[in-house]
Amino acid sequence: MQPMTVRNAVAAVLWPCTQLASAATCTTWPAEVYLLRHAEKLN
């Protein structure tokens, strides 16, 4: 059996996909978050 911590981590990653209705938003959300964080580091 996998530890609950792993399950919780997976649930946290998948949460936006389960909460947002649009499949497109689900696929672009991680990229947008990455770009925003990367841009903040550059600035």
How far from the centroid of its chain's Cα atoms is residue 14's Cα? 6
- Which pLDDT score is estimated for 20? 60
- What's the 3-state SS for the chain? CCCHHHHHHHHHHHHHHHHCCCHHHHHHHHHHHHHHHHHHHHC
- Which pLDDT score is estimated for 9? 82
Task: Considering only residues 43 and 32, tell me which one the structure prediction assigns the higher pLDDT.
Answer: 32
- Which pLDDT score is estimated for 4? 74
What digits encode the pLDDT tens for the residues 13-36? 777 766 665 565 556 677 778 888
Task: Answer yes or no: pTM beyond 0.85.
Answer: no
Residue 27 near residue 14, CB atoms below 8 Å: no
List C-alpha distances in Å: 3 to 6, 10, 11, 14, 20.
6, 11, 13, 17, 27
